[in-house]
Amino acid sequence: MKFASFIFASITALSASTPHSSDAKHWSYNGIFSPENWGKISKTCSAGKSQTPINIETSKTIPTVDRKDILKFYNYKTSLKTSVINNGHTIKITPKFLETYNEAYITIDGVRYNLLQFHMHTHSENRIDGKQSDLVAHLVHQSYDGKLAVVAIFFDEGEENSAIKEYWNQMPQKVNEVNSLFNVDISRILPADKSSYFTFMGSLTTPPCTENVKWFILKDRQTISKDQIEALRTIYPHNFRPVQNINSRTIFER
């Protein structure tokens, strides 16, 4: 029963974090369904007090204590099959492993969060001292009790990224189109240093803008070529939400 509940929760979070264009309540990044009107779709988008993305001012962050907000990665390895999906808002990558108990996951202070999917925004949504990166990958994870945690990896223009290239070679151009990859090493999406990051409580960055999401912004960055950036922007020129008010939140740094 617990396993069945987890699967249901996973599916719900998966669709909530990157909805499809066929959703009953349509939204977009421009026009009448743009971010300033998302509050008409979900009140949380406009009334929530812990919305994401935010601008992280590094002069105001607080160091974490040794035993708080410890992020660790496990089983980021070769997936049996990986789906590359154009969901109408972004390119989403969903890995599938041979055994569900042996899938990729993170722990936060020892609590396990399984990897559901990761997807891309250009430019980045969160900012560091007012600056955006050229592209960001959001790795969406979920705990057994349904809580969400997102790890953000920034990509700056530079050398071609071989990990991104593998997914981009199968990038679907049409909405709801799905392509498949086999035996993909998903660990290559991660930067070398995964121990330094900013962390805060936030929300999903798309409707319904659900809050109580734990965010980790890795400090170490990857590079990505201009052509790889343009490949996504050709389909989705600016699929990022504007920054939101921090309000009374504290941004921690490790």
Catalytic positions are 89
- HEC assignment per residue over 80-136: EEEEEEECCCCEEEEEECCCHHHCCEEEECCEEEEEEEEEEECCCCCEECCECCCEE
Angle at 13 between CA 62 and CA 163, to 5 degrees: 75
179 by Cβ neighbours in 10 Å (0-12 / 13-18 / 19+) ranks as: middle
How far, in Å, CA of 88 to CA of 21, rounded? 5
How far, in Å, CA of 102 to CA of 80, rounded? 11
Report the DSSP beta bridge partners of residue 56: 128
